[in-house]
Amino acid sequence: MAQARKAVGRTTAKKSEGAGAAKARLSVKTYHNYIDGEWTRASCGETFENVNPADTRDCIGRFPLSTVEDMSRAIDSAKNAADRWRHTPAPRRAEMLFRLGEILMRHKERFAAEMTREMGKVLKETGGDVQEAIDCTYYTAGEGRRLHGFTTPAEMPSKFAMCVRQPVGLCGLITPWNFPMAIPSWKLIPALVCGNTVIIKPAEDTPLSTYNLVKACEEAGIPKGVVNMVTGDGGTVGAALASHPAVRLISFTGSTETGRVVASACAERNAICSLEMGGKNVIIVMDDADVDLAVEGAVWGAFGTSGQRCTASSRVVVHKKVYRKFTQKLVERAKSLRVGNGADPQTEMGPVINADAVHKILGYIETGQREDGATLATGGNRLDAGEYAHGYFIEPTVFSDVAPGMRIAQEEIFGPVTAVIPTNSLEEAVEIANGVRYGLSAAIYTQDVNRAFRAMEEMYTGIFYVNSSTIGAEVHLPFGGTKATGNGHREAGTQVLDIFTEWKSVYVDYSGKLQRAQIDVVEPQ
Ligand code: NAD
């Protein structure tokens, strides 16, 4: 799969630990799965550690290394609760979700701090992650009094036609670590308002933020069995969830490679499968752009969340007339970024998620220099001295003179690395921009409305920005991508309701006689 985990592995005492560290580890909290309204340990009794990527001596908690049997129990629990929840009127379901929004608001600061501790991004960004869950909760809970269907004329007299939404049933939610509260909420809240029961399998690296969300669901009074959470290894419990015959829908966000495995498991049993996967997003900078603004957008897009966003700006295609000026300024800004522990308010860029991520990102940096022959304009190194000694830090890295076909310009690096590619024209820029296997997000910086609209029309992506970076989605607009990024579904907006409900067409004939569609044609009078 995309990368191995920082945390999964059985809990064992580390031989090299001093007495102090060993004592600190003894006081580490143990968390549980949430099944049928009960907090329970893994049936095998084993746990894995969730450690701080900015300081791996800091163990945040132990989480159940669950088994297939635990997952089966969670699925049974969701099955038992399904009818009760489905028959709870949608406005009542939504009331609980509004309460959930209030609870999230109340704990926003703590949840953000805990998220920074478990996955590294800076406090402002983790605050944004929790806020996205809050926004999603309030926005989607409003659907409890809408969930609109439609009526339409029937082809016969005295016949009524309408379409209503019905819940899908049991939904399995499999989520990544980079938005550990926002992404689970994007799936959980719409699933619930639509009347489904769920089992969440959070990413191994970030179970605490999903635990906080599920704990808030409990506090909001969502009945037992409606929301279940099972932590552990994706290849074990994630795979068990994806292949279980009772689970009608899998909503997955993660790498394209894992998404393909999940989709195959769903295809085997004709389950619905919604996939949100990788990206290789692009900013186009035209010769008439506000260069300073474009540089700010590129810095935020490339180095926000240390480049570990599905919408990260990992390519910048720049018109040759402003190429030197833009690249120089981008390099200066990248050099000036303050890298450190995200919990420090001065920090502008935190660590990457785990040791495997460090290995993968440094591998791409080496590929960029050796195999690809691009110019390493700044960065390129792991930071591991002094304050960085115990964390997974990498310098903000800019490659210039990158050719569109190079691996660093084609593959998702998922780290603080961006590739600057020169171009001669808008047409060429669009061709380069579309010339990757992904299609999530794209942006253009230009003062010319005609160029902006031309690029908007030609870019085959799910999201497009004008004079703004490739990141910054809002919950009331659909979110998702084309090609290897998705399989045609959209989360967020009202479009997400099409994932978590199925349409039922209803015909009511009040003529009192047999009327055969397409056969008993009524002539105009
Ligand atoms: P990943 O694919 O490694 O893991 C995602 C989830 O799948 C985890 O919960 C994992 O445990 C689970 N999993 C692993 N193997 C499984 C299996 N065989 N069966 C079922 N589940 C399994 O991804 P990640 O490293 O957590 O996240 C990074 C990736 O996610 C990047 O590619 C990024 O672009 C993508 N992402 C996409 C979006 C989007 O909306 N398009 C948003 C965020 C992240």
348-389 pLDDT tens trace = 999 999 999 999 999 999 999 998 889 999 999 999 999 999
Residues 357 and 247 in one domain: no
Residue 525 lies in a domain: no
* Residue 256 · residue 484 · CB < 8 Å: yes
- What's 300's domain CATH number? 3.40.309.10
Structure tokens at 522: 């009524």
Distance (Å) from CA 458 to ligand 1 centroid: 29
In a domain, 429, yes or no: yes
Supply the residue whose CA is at minimum distance from atom 21 of ligand 1.
Answer: 238
Instruction: Give 274-320 pLDDT, tens digit per residue.
Output: 999 999 999 999 999 999 999 999 999 999 999 999 999 999 999 99
CATH number of the domain that residue 85 is part of: 3.40.605.10
- 442 in the same domain as 334: yes
Identify whether 165 is part of a domain: yes
| Contact (CB, 8 A) for 205 and 8 | no
Domain co-membership, 181 together with 157: yes
Residue 19 neighbours by CB under 8 Å, 6+ apart: none
Strands 382-383 and 315-319: unpaired
335 and 233 within one domain: no
Residues 240, 161 within the same domain = yes
Take residue 426 and report the two structure tokens written for it. 């808008």
- Same domain for 264 and 221: yes
Closest Cα to atom 4, ligand 1: which residue?
A: 254
Q: What is the pLDDT of residues 129-147, one digit of tens each?
A: 999 999 999 999 999 999 9
Q: Is residue 522 part of a domain?
A: no
Say if residues 6 and 355 touch (Cβ distance below 8 Å): yes
Residue 233 pLDDT exceeds 90: yes
Nearest-CA residue for ligand 1 atom 26 is: 176
Check whether residue 264 and residue 334 sit in a common domain: no
Pocket, ligand 1, Cβ cutoff 6 A: 1-3, 174-179, 201, 203-204, 234-235, 238-239, 242, 253-255, 258, 261-262, 276-279, 310, 412, 414, 440, 481, 485
127 and 245 inside one domain: yes
Predicted confidence (pLDDT) per residue in 17-45, tens digit: 445 555 566 689 999 999 999 999 999 99
Q: What is the 3-state secondary structure (H, E, C) of 42-111?
A: CCCCCEEEEEECCEEEEEEEEEECCCHHHHHHHHHHHHHHHHHHHHCCHHHHHHHHHHHHHHHHHCHHHH
Answer yes or no: do 215 and 97 share one domain.
yes
Q: Specify the number of domains making up the chain.
A: 2
Q: Does the residue 85 lie in any domain? A: yes
Q: Do 434 and 287 fall into the same domain?
A: yes
pTM of the model: 0.95
Q: Does residue 87 share a domain with residue 193?
A: yes
358 and 403 in a common domain: yes
Q: Cα dihedral sign for 185, 191, 192, 193?
A: positive
Residue 134 maps to a domain: yes
| Mean pLDDT to the nearest integer, 186-202 | 98
pLDDT tens for each residue of 49-72? 999 999 999 999 999 999 999 999
Residue 244 sits in which domain range?
67-277+491-503
Give the position, in ligand 1's atom list, of the atom nearest the Cα of 440.
41
